[in-house]
């Protein structure tokens, strides 16, 4: 039978181990109770996606986040990184329930410059990468959500986006149709930066002008 002091040491060791595991192991999707999710990524821009009137391959990259909760969400504790876990953008402000937030490469560059960091933008690789959403909880940084994409999804003016019906990630390739045998398959749907993702059946044709007008209206 363990003596009293041995039992105390054992309990302390168990508590310390549990604390270390909580710090080191990323939380699974949804475990933090936060409804903030990655909803769309465009890594290979060939147009002026940030609306500044000038095309720039780094500034016009973008990703979209959505608040799936039924209440406003304080974004101050959230950070975005790519696969190497280098923080590329620190969120701020409040995101209303059901609303989407667009984060462009130019936004990331401006913030990095203001903080005196290396100016690298979002650094989304066209050949494939991972976008990670972190949350700061007390002294810990935990993984809230993440999405890996491949070279098909990262190709010129294609985005990969989450839709709820059916619940899945799909390829938005209206501006650069994909007809190959790889996955994901092309849908003919257009990217929707800052707007509601959708991929209805019976997709109709679109133009870059229509997409940009929708983007500007949703900002």
Residue position matching structure tokens 């903030």: 36
Whether 62 shows a pLDDT value over 90: the answer reads yes
DSSP assigned state of 44 = B
Whether pTM > 0.85 for this model: the answer is: no
pLDDT score, position 213: 56
Per residue in 160-194, pLDDT tens? 999 988 889 999 999 999 999 999 999 999 999 99
pLDDT score, position 42: 98
Measured in whole angstroms, how far is the alpha carbon of residue 78 from the centre of its chain? 11
Edge to edge, what strands does the sheet with 62-67 contain?
100-104, 62-67, 36-42, 159-164, 167-172
pLDDT score, position 52: 96
From 36, 59, 49, select the one nearest 147 (Cα to Cα): 36
187, 172 contact by CB (below 8 A): yes
Helices and strands per DSSP (H, E), number in the chain: 3, 11
Q: Pull the structure tokens for residue 210.
A: 């229509």
Whole-number Å distance between alpha carbons of 133 and 81: 7
Average confidence score pLDDT of the chain: 83
What's the whole-number mean pLDDT along residues 29-49? 83
Whether 33 shows a pLDDT value over 90: the answer reads no
Q: Is the dihedral of CA 72, 81, 135, 41 positive or negative?
A: positive
pLDDT score, position 207: 52
Strands of 94-197, DSSP E = 94-95, 100-104, 128-137, 140-150, 159-164, 167-172
From 102, 121, 123, 118, select the one nearest 51 (Cα to Cα): 102
Whether 45 shows a pLDDT value over 60: the answer reads yes
């Amino acid at each position: 039978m363990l003596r009293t002091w041995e039992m105390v040491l054992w309990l302390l060791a168990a508590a310390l181990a549990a604390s270390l595991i909580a710090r080191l192991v990323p939380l699974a999707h949804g475990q933090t109770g936060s409804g903030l999710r990655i909803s769309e990524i465009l890594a290979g821009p060939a147009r002026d996606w940030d609306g500044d009137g000038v095309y720039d391959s780094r500034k016009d990259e973008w990703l979209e986040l959505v608040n799936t909760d039924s209440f406003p969400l304080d974004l101050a504790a959230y950070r975005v990184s790519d696969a190497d876990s280098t923080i590329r953008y620190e969120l701020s402000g409040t995101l209303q329930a059901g609303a989407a937030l667009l984060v462009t490469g130019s936004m990331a560059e401006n913030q990095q410059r203001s903080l005196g960091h290396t100016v690298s933008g979002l650094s989304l690789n066209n050949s494939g990468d991972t976008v990670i959403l972190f949350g700061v909880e007390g002294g810990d940084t935990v993984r809230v959500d993440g999405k890996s994409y491949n070279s098909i999804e990262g190709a010129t003016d294609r985005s990969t986006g989450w839709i709820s019906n059916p619940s899945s990630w799909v390829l938005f390739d209206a501006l650069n149709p994909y007809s190959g045998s790889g996955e994901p398959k092309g849908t003919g749907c257009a990217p929707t930066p800052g707007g509601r993702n959708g991929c209805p059946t019976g997709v109709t044709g679109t133009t870059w002008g229509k997409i940009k007008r929708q983007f500007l209206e949703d900002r």
